[in-house]
Amino acid sequence: MSTYQMSTPRRKLIKFSLATGAYLFTGCSSNKPNEDNTNASAMDDFKTEANNRIVSSREVLVERSTLMTNCIVIDSVGRTAIERDGGIYRFKKQPMFPIYVFSGVVNFASNGHITQGDAKNNLMLEVSPSRIGTIVTTIASDENKRTWLKENFSLSDKEIDTEIPRSNKTIAAISDEVLKYCTQNNISKPSQIDVTKISKLTSDILIRIEKYKTSTKESIELEKELVTQLKAPLANKEDVTYYQYGSTNPKIVIDQLPKYELNDEQKYALAFMWNEERLAGDAYGAFHTALYQNLSDKEKEMADRILNTIHHAERLHEEAVEALIKKYDIDILDLDDYDGAYSKEELENMKPGVYPIKKLQEIWDNVAPVGTKSLKDAFRIGAITEIGDIEDLDRYIQIADKAIDFRYVMEFLRDGSILHYWVFDKALKELGIKEGACSISSRYCKQKNDFEINGDGGTRRPLLRWVQG
C-alpha cells in the first residue's frame, strides 16, 4: 500500500492509503451510520383501508383525499423512504420523526401510479408519530393549532393523528379548506401558518364540514371539484413520462429543508463529493465515447443503456451537491478556509479529467486509461468506482450531525451508487463474467444483503427495473 497526503480544512493534513494497480478508486473502510431510533414510533403495525393491508413500523401512509404517489418522503435525519403501494412508503430502518413529504401527485385515478389529470402536490406535509401523513397531521404538529382543531371541530388526538380524508369527512373538509388557503396565498408549508391566521378559517371550515357530511360524493370527488375550482396544476403527458422514466430531483428537498451551520469538515465533504461525482460522470462519458465505434450492436445497446444512463445520473448527483454548495454559499475551490463565495461559472469552467483534490486526480490518471480498453474493463471500473463512493459516503453520513439537508444529499448519492454497483455487476454477468463484480477482488464482491437498493438515487427508472427484474 502506498500513502500520500491531501489537503483538508484549515490546512490539516490526513494520511490516506490507496490501493495501487490497474483498478484504483477512492474509499475508506465502510462505517455504517450510528442510528439512534429512540425517537421512532413504537406503535404496533396497523391495517389501513387504503389497500386493506398491514402498515409496518417502518412504513408511513400519505394521503390527501386519496393515496399520494411518487412523493419524496424523508425523515428528520435525511433518510428517504421508497414507495410501496396504496400511498405507503417504507424506510430501510426505523424512521426518525418528524417525517416530511414533498412533491408527487394526488392519485385521483386511484391506480397507484401517476396519470394525466392527477393533482400535483405543492405542499410539504408532516407525518404524525402514528405514521399517517395528511394536511391535518401537518398543521397539528404545532400544539396551539392542535388545540384549535380539538376545540373547534370536536376532534380527538387519535382522530387527528390516525384518520384519513378518504374515510372521515371532517378531516377531508379541514384538509380542503387549508389546501384552498395555501393555494390562494402561495403557501407551500401548511405547518408554518400561524394559529392566528388559521383560526380565521374556522367558520369556512365549519361550512365545508357541513357540506361534505351531507354530500353523497366521496372525499376524492369533492377534492377534485376544489382543485378544478382553484385551477391547481394537474399532471400532463410530460409529467407522466418524467415520473415513469425520469428520476428523483433532490433539489426539491434541499430547497425546502432548513439551513444549518456547516463546519469545515462538512464543507470539505461537499467539495470532495462534488469532485468525486464529477470524476465518475467524466469517466463513464469518456469510456462510452472511446469504446462506442468498435462495439458490437449488443455492446452498443449496453453502452447506451448503462454507461450513458449512469453518466447522466452522475451529473444529477453533481447538481445535488452543487445545490447544497449554492445554498451555503461555499467556495469549494478554496480548500483552505472556504472564505470565498459560490460561483457557478467557476465550477462550470472545471475541465473533465482535472480535479483540485490530489487523491481524485491520481485516481483519474490511473483509471481513465483502463476503462477505455474494453466494455468489460469499463464495467469493472464502474463497480470499483461505486464501491469507493459508498465507502466515502458512509463516512460523510456519520458527520452530518443535525444538518438534515447534508445527510439527505449523502444518502441520495449513496442510494445511486448502490444501484449503479448492481447495474455494473449484472452487466458484467451479461457479458459472460459469471462472478460479476466478485471477479475483481473480495473488496468489490457484495451480496444483496450488504447493499439494499432504496430507490433510483437519481438514475432513470428503467435501469432500476432492469436490475430488480
Structural domain boundaries, residue 324: 2-33+249-468
Domain count, the chain: 2
Mean pLDDT in the chain? 87
Query: Whole-prediction pTM value?
Result: 0.79
Q: How far apart are CA 118 and CA 112, in angstroms?
A: 11
Q: Is the dihedral of CA 46, 52, 56, 61 positive or negative?
A: negative
Residue for grid cell 389501513: 48
- Over pLDDT 90: what percentage of the chain? 71
Residues 409 and 321 in one domain: yes
Residues 303 and 230 in one domain: no
186 domain-assigned:
yes
Residues 162 and 301 in one domain: no
Residue for grid cell 483538508: 8
Name the nearest CA neighbour of 81 among 119, 386, 72. 72
40 domain-assigned:
no
Give the residue from 216, 237, 258 where a domain finishes. Answer: 237
- What does the pLDDT read at residue 33? 40
- pLDDT tens digits, residue range 95-152? 999 999 999 999 999 888 889 999 999 999 999 889 999 999 999 999 999 999 999 9
291 domain-assigned:
yes
Give the residue from 204, 237, 270 where a domain finishes. Answer: 237
- pLDDT tens digits, residue range 402-431? 999 999 999 999 999 999 999 999 999 999
- pLDDT tens digits, residue range 217-253? 999 999 999 999 999 999 999 888 877 776 677 888 8
Residues 230 and 121 in one domain: yes
C-alpha cell at position 195: 394559529
Q: Are 353 and 367 in contact (CB under 8 A)?
A: no
Residues 260 and 230 in one domain: no
Q: How far apart are CA 332 and CA 322, in angstroms?
A: 10
- pLDDT tens digits, residue range 334-381? 877 777 899 999 999 999 999 999 999 999 999 999 999 999 999 999
Q: Are 287 and 438 in contact (CB under 8 A)?
A: no
Alpha helices in 37-88 (DSSP H): none
153 domain-assigned:
yes
> Residue 48: pLDDT above 70?
no
Residues 392 and 344 in one domain: yes
Residues 127 and 155 in one domain: yes
C-alpha cell at position 214: 351531507
Mean pLDDT within 441-459: 82
Mean pLDDT within 2-15: 33
Residues 11 and 85 in one domain: no
Q: Is the dihedral of CA 271, 272, 273, 276 positive or negative?
A: positive
Strand partners, 61: 88, 132
379 domain-assigned:
yes
SS3 125: strand
Name the nearest CA neighbour of 260 among 404, 396, 126. 404
The CATH number given to whatever domain includes residue 298 is 1.20.1260.10
Give the residue from 237, 259, 283 where a domain finishes. Answer: 237
- pLDDT tens digits, residue range 185-222? 999 999 999 999 999 999 999 999 999 999 999 999 99
H/E stretch holding 371: helix 358-371
Q: Cα Rg for the chain, rounded, in angstroms?
A: 24
39 domain-assigned:
no
Residues 262 and 188 in one domain: no
Q: Is the dihedral of CA 283, 411, 60, 213 positive or negative?
A: negative
Name the nearest CA neighbour of 324 among 429, 407, 444. 407
Name the nearest CA neighbour of 241 among 88, 89, 460, 63. 460
Residues 226 and 287 in one domain: no
Strand partners, 69: 105
SS3 236: coil
58 domain-assigned:
yes
SS3 83: strand
244 domain-assigned:
no
Residues 212 and 279 in one domain: no
Query: How does residue 256 score in pLDDT terms, banded at 50, 70 and 90?
Result: confident
- What does the pLDDT read at residue 49? 52
DSSP symbol at 4 = E
> Residue 22: pLDDT above 70?
no
Name the nearest CA neighbour of 178 among 162, 165, 161, 167. 165
> Residue 300: pLDDT above 80?
yes
> Residue 28: pLDDT above 50?
no
Residues 199 and 60 in one domain: yes
